[in-house]
Structure 1
Amino acid sequence: METGQLFEFMELVGRLKHMKRTGWLRFGIDDAETIAGHMYRMAVLALLVDTEENINKAKVMEMALVHDLAEAIVGDITPHCGVPVAEKHRREDEAMVEISKLLGNKGPETLKLFREYESRDSPEAKFVKDLDRLDLIMQAYEYEKRDQTHGKLEEFFAASTEHISHPLLKKIANEILTRRAELTPPTVEH
């Protein structure tokens, strides 16, 4: 691998350490998480993969670390950004092609992982998508708890929770919902 290209790759990845996730900014969340923070927790949660399952843990970790890598170039595009889904996917794929060119012989493998995640055509890709949803609702729970704004982020729970299909991750999602229900709703002053 060429060191100049790796330097450029490091700069791109570094952007993700500072880029706040769009959904949280839209809701005015103070000290919102970064894209890199989101990807990191997902990669750590990959440790939950049971070796008895037909899921490759290392591949899940790798996929979690590359699934939002294109956002270093295109930004965090959400459904509320007004960009059609097909256009979002085109932009992200184009960005990943560019990023992969910086990675020498690791580039094709990285691009393949990203595309596999996007198409959800493997047990690993489905698991990583469930991790993505799980991290989203956990983060929403943490913000509601921290800011004492119970119910403010309902949109995130409604859009993600029911789509988690992996049994263990579904159990964790249910635990998050249980704990969220125990949060004290904000009192309304008259």
Structure 2
Amino acid sequence: MAPAVENKNILEFLELVGRLKHVKRTGWVLCDIDDCESIAGHMYRMGMMTFLLTEENNPTKLDRFRCLQIALVHDLAECIVGDITPHCGVSPEEKHRQEDEAMKKIAELTGFAGDRMYELYKEYENQSSPEANFAKDLDRYDMILQAFEYEKRENAPRKLQEFFTATEGKFKHPFIRDLVAELYKQREEFENKLVVNGTT
């Protein structure tokens, strides 16, 4: 590929990625959450959580860099297809087809780097490695953490219970399970405090 063509394609790729900074996550939009997070914001915090793996909480020696890469790639297709949720009327099979097609287009724009991104995306989709399993835990955990943050911001305990119900019992990694337990503890304390104060 000639440098001029290659640079043109890279610029197109970066513009596609840039969309994720502005596209709001569908689940929050459907719940009428004002000023809700973007897709990029979600992936960024997932990525930051991979830095929290240590010798003590990572007994299976997950590859932190691979976890970070998967976190940054797992929703990349949404820059083309948008954030499709079960409430959008699209079958899981069609959602997968659209996202796979989008990732192939992204891969074409960036050559070897794109091949790598597509490989990581498929690893996540197929949950075919311990790192992909961990990234799935991060995805779910970031969602319920964000839900709790919105509940606190709006002084509305249990307003977003559906997100907790959808993830209950699905966390696998011990480090994330411990974080979930702490989040549930704080959420219960938040609710009890409001009840005691007569807010609810």
**TM exceeding 0.5:** yes
Q: What is the RMSD of the two structures over their aligned residues, measured on CA atoms?
A: 1.3
What corresponds to 2:199 in structure 1? Answer: 187
What corresponds to 2:51 in structure 1? Answer: 47
Deviates more, 1:1-10 or 1:163-172: 1-10
What corresponds to 1:102 in structure 2? Answer: 109
- Alpha-carbon shift at residue 108 of structure 1 (Å): 1.0
Match of 2:156 among 149, 153, 165: 149
Q: Following superposition of structure 1 onto structure 2, how do residues 132-171 of structure 1 map, counting pairs within 5 Å? A: 132-171=139-178
What corresponds to 2:19 in structure 1? Answer: 15
Q: Which amino acid aligns with 1:27?
A: C
What corresponds to 1:70 in structure 2? Answer: 77
Question: Counterparts of 1:44 and 1:103 in 2: how far apart (Å)?
Answer: 24
Q: Which amino acid aligns with 1:138?
A: L
Deviation digits for residues 58-112 of structure 1 (CA, Å, limit 9, x no counterpart): 0000000000000000000011111111111111011000011111211111100
Secondary structure of residue in 2 paired with 1:68: coil
- Alpha-carbon shift at residue 54 of structure 1 (Å): 2.9
Secondary structure of residue in 2 paired with 1:31: coil
What corresponds to 1:3 in structure 2? Answer: 7
Q: Which amino acid aligns with 1:187?
A: T
Question: Counterparts of 1:143 and 1:39 in 2: how far apart (Å)?
Answer: 18
What corresponds to 1:60 in structure 2? Answer: 67
Question: Counterparts of 1:121 and 1:54 in 2: how far apart (Å)?
Answer: 16
Q: Is the counterpart of residue 29 in structure 1 residue 36 in structure 2?
A: no
TM-score (norm 2): 0.91
Q: Which amino acid aligns with 1:75?
A: G
Secondary structure of residue in 1 paired with 2:168: helix
Q: Which amino acid aligns with 2:38?
A: T
What corresponds to 1:174 in structure 2? Answer: 181
Q: Which amino acid aligns with 1:163?
A: K
Unaligned runs of 5+ in 2: none
Asked if structure 2 preserves the Cα contact closer than 8 Å seen for 1:9 and 1:99, the reply is: yes
Question: Counterparts of 2:38 and 2:168 in 1: how far apart (Å)?
Answer: 21
Unaligned runs of 5+ in 1: none
TM-score (norm 1): 0.95
Question: Counterparts of 2:77 and 2:50 in 1: how far apart (Å)?
Answer: 20
Deviation digits for residues 132-184 of structure 1 (CA, Å, limit 9, x no counterpart): 00000000000000111111100001111321110010110111111011112
Secondary structure of residue in 2 paired with 1:53: coil
- Alpha-carbon shift at residue 55 of structure 1 (Å): 1.1
Q: Compare CA radii of gyration and give the structure with the larger one.
A: 2
